[in-house]
């Protein structure tokens, strides 16, 4: 009897977990794109010597962002129930 009552709740939790997984994938996509953009802008600033120190900071920040995004891509959180 209790399995029949919990079945809709488990289904709802699985739907929510699926949506959280999709949101996670989108956030990883945005992180990858933004890290590429940050590195490119930093390299342009650094190599054109418009603002060399800021360009170096942006390149290092972009590389750090890439490492963090890759870590979370390799070890994602578990959004399931079992």
User: What are the pLDDT digits (tens) for 31-68?
Assistant: 999 999 999 999 999 999 888 999 999 999 999 999 99
14 pLDDT higher than 50: yes
Residue 81 belongs to a domain: no
Mean pLDDT for the chain overall: 88
Provide the domain limits for residue 69.
2-74
Query: Predicted confidence band at 1 (pLDDT cuts at 50, 70, 90)?
Result: very low
Contact criterion met (CB below 8 Å) for 81 and 10: yes
Residue 26 belongs to a domain: yes
pLDDT recorded at residue 9:
79
Contact criterion met (CB below 8 Å) for 46 and 59: yes
Residue 51 belongs to a domain: yes
| pTM of the predicted model over 0.85 | no
At a CB cut-off of 8 Å and minimum separation 6, what does 75 contact? none
């Amino acid at each position: 009897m209790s399995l029949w009552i919990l079945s809709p709740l488990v289904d709802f939790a699985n739907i929510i977990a699926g949506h959280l997984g999709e949101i996670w994938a989108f956030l990883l996509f945005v992180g990858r794109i933004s890290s590429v953009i940050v590195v490119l802008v930093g390299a342009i600033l650094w190599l054109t010597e418009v603002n060399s120190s800021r360009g170096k900071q942006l390149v290092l920040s972009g590389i750090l962002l890439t490492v963090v995004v890759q870590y979370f891509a390799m070890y994602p959180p578990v959004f399931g129930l079992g």
